[in-house]
Structure 1
Amino acid sequence: MVRIEDILDRILAYNPNADLSLIKKAYIYCAKVHKGQIRLSGEPYLSHPLEVAAILTKMRLDVVSIACGLLHDTVEDTKATSEEIEKLFGKEVSTIIDGLTKLSRLSFSSIERQAENVRKMILAMAQDIRVVLIKLADRLHNMITLGYLPTDKQRHVAQETLDIYAPLAARLGIGWLRTQLEDLALYYTDQETYQHIAHGIAKRKEEEKKYIEEIKGLLEKKLIEHGLRGRVEGRIKNIYSIYLKMQRQKIDLEQIYDLVAFRIILKTVRECYEALGMVHSLWKPIPRKFKDYIAMPKPNMYQSLHTKLMGPYGGRVEIQIRTEEMHRIAEEGIAAHWRYKEGEEADEREVQRFVWLKQLLEWQRELKDPKEFLKAVKTDLFPKDVYVFTPKGDVKALPVGSTPIDFAYSIHTEVGDHCMGAKIDGKLIPLRYKLNTGNVVEIVTSPKQHPSKDWLKFVHSPKAISCIKHYIRTQECDQALSLGKELCEKAFKKYGLNFYEYLNNPGFAEIAKQFSFKTIDDLLMAIGYGKLSPKQVVNRILPPKETIEEIPKPPLKKEKTIGIKIKGIDDVMIKMARCCLPIPGDKIIGYITRGHGVTIHRADCHNIWRLDSERLIEVNWDKDENLPYPVKIQVMCLDKIGLLSQISGAISQAKANIIKATSKTDLAKKANLLFVIEVSDNRHLQKVIDAIYNIDTVLEVQRIGLT
């Protein structure tokens, strides 16, 4: 177990002027409240906060962060309270501990819960990034001691680590932490594969060690010859990265010839490019395996030159070249830049490191659908970027597969909204064109151009998706508002009332509140969407005991009812979806269309999930109605004389009416018959199917949609 003295020595090593009194006080309090508690490993519970604090010193964090690392479980797992923490350690410490207590309750199981919990984590980061840094340190130590948990719990925690915490560490730029989390998570999610890779590395360790020393010595000698001041590091790649390569290329460990990687760390950027020329003259570079992250940094501001070469003995050599400052950023990530001084101005590079967090905050506010939100976050946590240029030479990093529209939105929302075309090297390209690294893109705009729903079929960046959906929602709201006013005007006129006189009356806002709407516009939009009928509003206006005669109209022929009840709506056009043809007994759901009433789908219809979830409404079958409903069935059978007549007879005996029948026979004498029949409900349909199955040559009977 690490000792408090070790932690204090580490802090003084990177911060000689640190005031350690807060940490000493936190340690004494932590030891007191956790006294008598034992971890599953059998160790005193105090060992855990000490290990977390030690991990935070590796991140070189401030005194407050280390103190919070010691205190992070006090409110959650002891009788300590937030008020007590604030009184003893101050508001700053109390706020961080409160954030950690909330995060400790997160569990990433279902999509909805996962989305909601990621939202909470993003908000915690926005409030104070140290909350998540301490949470990552806590998770790392929990992963180190995961073996003491039951097997199913081990697997769940490890998968959660791979899905959320390791990518988050990568996005924050803390490379060493990400590597440890990934390797530990792989061990508990796929122990057999982990052991196979670890054993293979162990067998080649001596051989690889000699290879590292040989290449390292050669590179150091060449640096001296070229007058470059720097150092060379060699390492065996981590197990999880090797595992990913095996999965990606579908190869075994024996087929991987570049288990090691090298870093050349220099003083200046100019020396980095000189060293690149040096290694390219030493060994032949592999085409398309060079990446310049110095000129085009990753979104987390990681910088390095990456190159792969055909090295000695026919093996591949992977080399990263960077400055000391770049190396520090690559290892420590966001913690390397964490400045927590009141009123201190951040420089432009500092601001850039937090742009992605600002973007995540915008998505958590705008993207309400859990799947959309998680997709946006994961796109950002697992960045695979292309780097393209504006005509002025500015670099934009976009997800692989991005189009000119993604590029336009990365410049500004207004540019994206009015994008009508794009040029690469002066040539017009389609909006669906997939951009490649190095493209210089010029966007052509028009005030008459607006986002289209079709754009959502090919854009890739979360910002573009968010902006397009926001525009479409705004347009739909405007149309619903206009339609709601039009429907109300007609309904009010029906009772001899002037709608616009009531609309401008302060009492109309009260009617909106009676229907649980905040504003009159919300009420009118609900009417436009078909969620509320104008007659319900009229009934609230008319005096309860007074009867106002309707203005007479010519008698209308009563339409045949369809046997559906819609909650809160009594006069709306209803039609059955042709894709699934629901019948009574099926679970159903309604979809509010534009100007065509409500379409009824089966709840398991594959098309319903492609539609706007905000326009789905609850519907039920009207049990008082007893109507015939069309349904389509497919009968597969062996062909014989009189077959169609025999099946038709079985359908008629089951008291179902045949509306349409078609048949087709293939070369193997198998008949495919399609019937559209009328039944009263799904039990009636089952009787029909059973009757058809009684025919000995019938192979299969199934229900299908009309389309």
Structure 2
Amino acid sequence: MVQVRALHPTNRDGSVNIDAWIARMQQRVPLTAPAVLKEACEWALELERAAIAAENIWADGASSYLTGLEMAEILAELKLDQDSLVAAVVYRAVRERKTDLAEVERRFGATVAGLVDGVQRMAAISVSQNPGKTMAFCAQTQVENLRKMLVTMVDDVRVALIKLAERTCAIRAVKDAPEEKRYRVAREVFDIYAPLAHRLGIGHIKWELEDLSFRYLEPTQYKQIAKLLDERRLDRQEYIDDVMNQLRQELEETGIHAEISGRAKHIYSIWRKMHRKGIDFSQVYDVRAVRVLVPQVRDCYTALGIVHGLWRHIPNEFDDYIANPKENGYRSLHTAVVGPSGKVLEVQIRTQAMHEEAELGVCAHWRYKGTDASSHSSNAYEDKIAWLRQVLEWHEEMGDIGGLADQLRVDFEPDRIYLFTPDGHVLDVPKGATPLDFAYRIHTEIGHSCRGAKVNGRIVPLNYILQTGEQVEIITGKHSSPSRDWLNANLGYVNTSRARAKVQHWFKQQAREQNVQAGKLMLDRELTRLALNGADYAHLIDKLGIRSQEDLFAAVGSGDVRLMHVVNVAQQLVEPDSHSEQLELIPRRATKPARRGDVFIQGVGNLLTQLAGCCQPVPGDPIIGYITLGRGVTVHRADCATAMQLQDRDSDRLIEVSWGGEPIQTYPVEIFIKAYDRSGLLRDVSQMLANDKINVLEVSTRTNKDDNYAAMLLTVEVPNINMLGRLLARINQLPNVIEARRNRKEASA
């Protein structure tokens, strides 16, 4: 077995004394069920012993069991809850495939399994999807995108903190590892996780990550500064002790009870200051430094007066971050003085509350000084950091991090996603982007020549909606060129203005005659499909303000005028009583969700609805409906005892219901589909309608066995003609479908 770290309480045989370890953890953080944490520890140890017995020993010699305990201890210092500690203990076992998430959920519940899964998703960003490269760490824009990508994927602040604890253990453990591994881990920690710790305001973790990373990234400079510090450590400590005694005596005589300590200056921060200011070690004033913690704000200024009374302060070396806090919220008094023996001394003065904010993550750090100056940072990234910080601050006050995260998560939705290129670079695109948008994000010519795409090695359609963390490979052809279908918003090929502008520009360069022909074909096809082919082109161009019919076709063909804009105007001409985005004058009396106050319930039609008094469900609770006699539908919580009794007694009167939003007025429309008959055709059409949440009122289908054609007639509810256009376009893309259009009979009715 790997030798047990000295910080763990041990038995006589050298193994960890779990009972003593848990007792020590309880002194740091309240445990709701210590037996559960003990079970997690014993299970992690059992899994490790089984792996050793099977000769499936970890490659780097590290113990996943001991690493889990160490991670839990780091999280206990941050006052995290028991679920976080359990997740930390079992995380490495899941990562090393000694068990799986399903087993974790079975033993410890969905919350713990979700935390482990979240940390695993963050870990996927840490390793390049191209083994031959290391995520292009040398490029600052790539580092920034990686940080944003990582933060975007975090749905629970505990996930980020567990990952920080795991990386802290990793950087501690590489001391005796090969140089290449030391450098790789240090580069990742320095570029990604030290800034994350800083932004979350967790000072002591940030400093440790920076110093250990710097040790392996710049070993010569690290050793040089460490040697300079060691050579003068005893003298410096004696000097600091003398200063602290003198200052403590003066403060006590004034009636101020202060905590005074020598402030350790971290090696990386010393090097950074030397490098930034172009000075040598002897000119770093805060190598000799003390920190004074006082009870109240007024005591800070009293202590400052005493310091300046004892020693002469150095001009331009005083900062009042209490009266004028930094943009990141940091508060403290900083001054540099010529102390005893004429040596420069830095003094920091703050209250206990200010100190805890800076150390434990209640002080919001918006920009990571030195490595985070990105002028094009996304607002969504800052919003996400703000959300994470808010959860941490509330946790400090209320002690419940899980429930708060659930409540706050609904207020944040990132507007950027982050994607891998095949060689491991990261690019950001707007949310909802497709492979074509991604192709144009890389280079205009790649977009123009795109003829296919792979996502995570699998071929996908060009209108596939990309998700953060996916690897996208664009397939190009030497003679490929943009398709005019890319400009049809209903088909969803391009969803970003950048890509659309590039496609439009390409078509503008083509011959006008080609644009006229293509525009006429596109417009005729769409108007026919929507049963609007009775539109008068003379009136249409007058309404659009276009000089001639040929100019209209050219504008549509080149992308200067959007196809759906023309369709909406044509609808007003063909159906003058309808609104621009409606299908007919009189809407069907839509099946509206029942309403009580501002609460809407889907699935009950126009039945009277009431919320059960026994369980009083609120929006967001899992619910079920019960059809009463004469009083409509009563809505219960799914776990309500009364509902469970009804399920045993009158299960046939229970119906599925769900919370819904404000009802949207819809309009019935008939759709005609012609296709080559095949097994599963109706299922595919129904599934597509269900995915788009389209309500189907009527379906009829028949097949001609002689020519193997299938004809379907569906009556569906749609809110506007734009939705109808998108729906028909998507049906047309299904395999074997010959055409899908609005039924002419319905249009003429």
Normalised by the length of structure 1, the TM-score is: 0.51
Q: Which residue of the other structure, out of 135, 142, 160, is the alignment partner of 1:109?
A: 135
The residue identity in structure 2 corresponding to 1:109 is M
Per-residue deviation at 1:16? 4.6
Q: 1:28 aligns with which of 38, 42, 47?
A: 42
1:9 aligns with 2:23: yes
Residues 396-453 of structure 1 show CA distances to partners (whole Å, capped at 9, x for unaligned) of xxxxxxxxxxxxxxxxxxxxxxxxxxxxxxxxxxxxxxxxxxxxxxxxxxxxxxxxxx
Query: Shift in Å at residue 11 of structure 1?
Result: 2.7
- 2:115 alignment partner in structure 1: 96
Partners of 2:519 and 2:238 in 1: CA distance: 96
- Cα contact 1:480–1:526 (8 A) shared by 2: no
1:303 aligns with one of 327, 331, 340: 331
State the alpha-carbon separation in 2 of the partners of residues 191 and 94 from structure 1. Answer: 39
Q: Distance in 2 between matches of 1:172 and 1:206?
A: 34
Confirm or deny: 8 A CA contact 2:291 2:347 kept in the other structure: yes
Matched, 1:290 2:349: no
2: distance between equivalents of 1:196 and 1:166? Answer: 22
Instruction: Find the aligned partners of 1:495 and 1:139 in 2 and give their Cα distance.
Output: 57
Secondary structure of the residue that 1:289 maps to in structure 2? strand
Superposed, 1:528-539 pairs within 5 Å as 528=559
**Counterpart in 1 of 2:646?**
none
> How many residues align structurally?
412
What is the distance in 2 between the residues matched to 1:309 and 1:15? 40
Distance 1:171 1:492, change over 3 A: closer
Structure 1 residue 341 corresponds to structure 2 residue 341? no
Distance 1:319 1:246 in 2: 19
Q: 1:67 to 1:367 in 2, by over 3 A?
A: closer
Deviation at 1:343, TM superposition (A): 9.2
Q: In structure 1, give the amino acid aligned to 2:79.
A: R
Q: CA RMSD in A?
A: 4.3
| Alignment map for 1:161-176 (pairs within 5 Å) | 161-176=189-204
Letter matched to residue 11 of structure 1 = M
1:144 to 167, 172, 175: 172
Residues 65-464 of structure 1: pairs in structure 2 closer than 5 A: 65-105=84-124, 106-107=126-127, 109-110=135-136, 117-125=146-154, 127-298=155-326, 301-333=329-361, 337-338=394-395, 341=400, 361-362=414-415, 364=417
Distance in 2 between residues matched to 1:165 and 1:495, nearest whole Å: 53
Q: In 2, distance between residues paired with 1:365 and 1:41?
A: 31
Partner of residue 730, structure 2: none
Please give the alpha-carbon distance, in whole angstroms, between the structure 1 residues aligned to 2:220 and 2:246. Answer: 37
Q: For the structure 1 residues 279 and 474, does the alpha-carbon distance in structure 2 shift closer, same or farther, using more than 3 Å as the test?
A: farther
Residue 31 of structure 1 aligns to which amino acid in structure 2? L
Query: What displacement does 1:301 show?
Result: 3.9
- With over 3 angstroms needed to count, the CA separation of the structure-2 counterparts of 1:492 and 1:32, relative to structure 1, is same
Between the aligned partners of 2:58 and 2:114, the Cα distance in structure 1 is 26
Shift of 1:57: 1.8
Q: Deviations over 1:189-248 (max 9, x none)?
A: 122222221121111111101111111112212222332232111133111111212222
Matches within 5 A, 1:563-642: none
Secondary structure in 1 matching 2:330 = coil
1:114–1:190 Cα change, 3 Å? closer
What amino acid is the match of 2:105? E
> Does the C-alpha gap of structure 1 residues 362 and 271 become closer, same or farther in structure 2, counting only changes over 3 Å?
farther
Percent of aligned positions with the same letter in both sequences?
A: 31
Give the match's secondary structure for 1:236.
coil
Secondary structure, aligned partner of 1:104? helix
Q: 1:498 to 1:113 in 2, by over 3 A?
A: closer
- In the TM superposition, what whole-angstrom CA distance separates every residue of 1:364-396 from its partner, at most 9, and x where no partner exists? 57999978869xxxxxxxxxxxxxxxxxxxxxx
The structure-2 alpha-carbon separation of the partners of 1:6 and 1:237, relative to structure 1 and needing over 3 Å to count, comes to farther
Q: What SS does the corresponding residue of 2:290 show, helix, strand or coil? A: strand
Aligned to 2:66: 47
Q: Which consecutive residues of structure 1, in runs of 5 or more, have no partner in the other structure?
A: 375-472, 510-522, 531-707
1:633-652 equivalences under 5 Å are: none
Cα offset, 1:18, TM superposition: 3.8
In the aligned structure 2, how far is the partner of 1:316 from the partner of 1:219? Answer: 15
Q: In the superposition, relative to structure 1, how do residues 119 and 260 fare at CA in structure 2: closer, same or farther (>3 Å)? A: same
2:79 counterpart SS class: coil
Query: What is the TM-score when the length of structure 2 is the normalising length?
Result: 0.48
Q: Distance in 1 between matches of 2:80 and 2:271?
A: 32
1:462-516 deviation line (CA, Å, top 9, x unaligned)? xxxxxxxxxxx8599689879979999965656995976655454699xxxxxxx
Q: Which amino acid aligns with 2:100?
A: T
SS in 1 for 2:400: coil
Change (3 A) 1:501 1:5: same
Q: Distance in 1 between matches of 2:156 and 2:518?
A: 59
Q: Where does residue 83 of structure 2 map in the other structure?
A: 64
Q: Is the 8 Å Cα contact of residues 258 and 294 (structure 2) preserved in structure 1?
A: yes
CA contact (8 A) 2:419 2:427 kept: no
Write the mapping of 1:465-544 to structure 2, written as runs, cut at 5 A: 491=514, 497=520, 504-506=527-529, 527-528=558-559
Contact kept in structure 1, 2:418 and 2:428, CA below 8 Å: no
Alpha-carbon separation, structure 2, partners of 1:199 and 1:525: 73
Distance 1:249-1:309 versus aligned 2 partners, 3 A rule: same
1:547-578, Cα deviation, whole Å (9 max, x unpaired): xxxxxxxxxxxxxxxxxxxxxxxxxxxxxxxx
Taking a change above 3 Å as real, the CA distance of residues 113 and 283 of structure 1, as seen in their structure-2 partners, is closer
Alpha carbons of structure 1 residues 79 and 274: separation in structure 2 relative to 1, 3 Å: same
Q: For 2:209 and 2:530, locate their aligned partners in 1 and report how far apart those are by CA, in whole Å.
A: 61
Identify unmatched segments of 5+ residues in structure 2.
Answer: 9-15, 128-133, 363-391, 430-495, 533-553, 562-749
Q: 1:8 to 1:258 in 2, by over 3 A?
A: same
CA contact (8 A) 1:7 1:54 kept: no
Equivalent-residue separation in structure 2 for 1:526 and 1:131 (angstroms): 50
**1:239-283 C-alpha deviation (Å, 9 max, x unpaired):** 111121222233443444541221111112222233233323433
Once residues 42 and 370 of structure 1 are traced to their aligned partners in structure 2, the CA distance between those partners, rounded to angstroms, is 31
Q: Is the 8 A contact 2:31 2:82 kept in 1?
A: no
Distance in 2 (alpha carbons) for counterparts of 1:245 and 1:506: 69
Are the aligned partners of 1:100 and 1:135 in contact in 2 as well (CA < 8 Å)? Answer: yes
Specify whether residues 26 and 298 from structure 1 end up closer, same or farther in structure 2 by C-alpha distance, changes over 3 A only. Answer: farther
Displacement of 1:9: 2.9
| Structure-2 change in CA distance of 1:7 and 1:306 (3 Å) | farther
Instruction: Pick closer, same or farther for the CA change 1:10–1:525 going to 2, 3 Å.
Output: farther
